Amino acid sequence: MNLLFVGDIFGSPGRAFLKATLPGLIRRYKAHLVIVNGENAAGGAGLTGAVAEELFAMGVDVITSGNHIWNQKDIYRIIETEERILRPANYPPGAPGKGSGIYRAGDGTTAAVINVCGRVYSPQNFDCPFRILDAEIEKVSAITPVVIVDFHGEASSEKIAAGWHVDGRVAALLGTHTHVQTADEIVLPGGTAYITDAGMTGSYEGVIGAGREAALKHFITQLPVRLEPCTGKSQLCAVYCAISPAGKAEKIERILIRE
């Protein structure tokens, strides 16, 4: 199975650049499953039903998320019934939606996708992502050996530790959240494709996708500001993984496309 995983989509600039580049990437990598992190896809904070449908129409199969998933209130209703949208599995019981799902890829492969959030430097009180991963992997592995994880976290150390924790038990653990693509892509000894952060899809002329003037004002004055998506030149950050029917990664390739 050929997996294409696209890093955090940031606002309308990210969506526009994804629309322009995704068809070519799908053809180039003969992608059978396309996953994007969409927690910042609506206005740079959150996800709406309309934006999700826009992403699905582009060829996206699954939307993962993170701690900003609830910023747009529309998502509370949508996520209860839309199986293709995931929220972190380590939210406490009672949170709308679900943290994992089973999907049919274009080559007929059945793949499981799990979404978790890290706890280090997180303002939310998430359940332990390592224990939640253990439980989710055990659950979905009874259905398919092809398991893909989006680990949404701030600390590189926590994501690296998670990669080693699941090595050999999942096909890929791909980090998101920092909006900065890392250069440490690797297939771990047990057959798990890993990268600390897949990066951000949006304008690279701002500050991790947001307008630089407002971001600079906040850092210099420490006053609260409203961050809007930057409208400068855009980039797409993604990862391609080749995965065997046994659920082992055979290859991982980092992708960066800029205007």
pLDDT tens digits, residue range 96-155?
Answer: 999 999 999 999 999 999 999 999 998 888 999 999 999 999 999 999 999 999 999 999
Task: List, for the chain, all residue ranges whose pLDDT scores fall below the cut of 50.
Answer: none
Residues with Cβ within 8 Å of residue 217, at least 6 apart in sequence: 223, 225
User: Rounded CA gap, 228 and 171, in Å?
Assistant: 35
Tell me how far apart the alpha carbons of residues 23 and 50 are, in angstroms, rounded to a whole number.
20
Q: Are 141 and 169 a contacting pair, CB within 8 Å?
A: yes
**pLDDT reported for residue 124:** 85
Answer yes or no: 68 catalytic.
Answer: yes
pLDDT for the residue numbered 125: 86
Judge if pTM exceeds 0.85. yes
pLDDT on residue 247: 98
> Which residue, chain included where needed, has tokens 């990862």?
239
How many other β-carbons are positioned within 10 Å of the β-carbon of residue 168? Answer: 12
Around Cβ 244, how many Cβ atoms within 10 Å?
A: 14
Determine contact, residues 258/204, Cβ cutoff 8 Å. yes
Q: Which domains does the chain have, with CATH numbers?
A: 2-258 (3.60.21.10)
Q: Of residues 32, 68, 177, 179, which has the active-site annotation?
A: 68
**Nearest-angstrom CA–CA distance, 63 and 138:** 22
